[in-house]
Structure 1
Amino acid sequence: MGSFSIWHWLIVLVVVLLLFGRGKIPELMGDMAKGIKSFKKGMSDDDASDEAKPVDARTVEHRADETVPTAKEKTSKG
């Protein structure tokens, strides 16, 4: 079950050419290259926008002595 012989690869090539045609394969490769380029551009844009924005780290403080009143408690007190 090692590698395929040259005849196997030739048959695969003929089948691919019959399915997609001669002009379709370069078109698909060009579209794939455009997609990769736009993906890389998008990733670099995200990195640049992340560096430009200051990070505002806010946390919620919780103190054990405070409790949040429930809706039932709010209506009974008010």
Structure 2
Amino acid sequence: MIDTAVSKRINPLQELIKSKLNPQKKNVTIKEAAIRLNVTEQTIANYIKKGLIDASKIGRRIVINLESLENNLKEVKSLKYRR
């Protein structure tokens, strides 16, 4: 009984510690973003050209910040349903 009570409180703390020690990757390439969103790479490139997705160029690679990607997609969805 005590073990279950203790494990219920310790498991979320262990997951929090793991997430802090191994943070999620913050930048993704166009290919990775396309896989995450289940669209083609060309669609992502078009969104970047139109300004719907913020991207930055590091050397020859174009990288997209995951947080800004999620925020931009929320804005696009809200504009779509406003009509």
TM-score, length of structure 2 as denominator length: 0.33
Greater RCO (CA < 8 Å, at least 6 residues apart): 2
Task: Name the larger-Rg structure.
Answer: 1
Q: TM-score, normalised by structure 1?
A: 0.34
